[in-house]
Amino acid sequence: MSESASAIRYITHSHPVTGVTNAKLGIWCFLASEVMLFGALFSAYLLLRTGSSSWPRGSTILNVPLATLNTMVLIFSSVTMVMSWASLAMKNFSKYRLYMGLTVLMGFAFLAIKAFEYGHKFEHHHFPSTSTFYAIYFTLTGLHGVHVIAGILVNLYFLFRGHVLWEKDPEWLTNRVECAGLYWHFVDLVWIFLFPVLYLL
């Protein structure tokens, strides 16, 4: 690590006050702000839905089978994300690359399925301007998709630069992958809420 980075304390060891590393504390603070963001959007959705007498059921106008498949994809990606971190913790870098590669692959699969679903909606002239429901649908799923892309980019960095980081400081890489995993699990959790709220209720 660089001299400036090595001067920063509690990068690889827990802070005695917080009980976690600075990186983990930072990611938890960031995720707290993300909870407020999505919480506000979910609240807006609930207010709009309860205030409407003719709100459509998502199961009648959205593709539930595709959304179910995407749910399974993200759940599987969370498992592989955990396994990638566990592989580093057990000093098995080759397995780490395998599981991290699978995580990235599942992220791309999720985006491909969502793009197909979006394309189908556009072919039938369903846009955010079509109705309040579609405005909410495209806003929530689109914002979630942006977060998936961000997670993929971070995971790609750790996948392709991992060998260099591993040689420099294995513990540093392990902690950073754990933080990336916390973000990825949050993205998956958001979808777990989006799926029933938009597609089933």
CATH code: domain of residue 195: 1.20.120.80
pLDDT confidence of residue 125: 93
Write the burial class of residue 176 (CB in 10 Å: 0-12 exposed, 13-18 middle, 19+ buried).
buried
Q: How far apart are CA 189 and CA 199, in angstroms?
A: 15
pLDDT confidence of residue 2: 47
Which residues of the chain have a pLDDT value below 70? 1-20
Write the burial class of residue 88 (CB in 10 Å: 0-12 exposed, 13-18 middle, 19+ buried).
buried
Query: Cα torsion at 38, 82, 66, 119 (round to 10°)?
Result: 70
Number of structural domains in the chain: 1
Domain that holds residue 58: 3-200
The model's pTM is 0.89
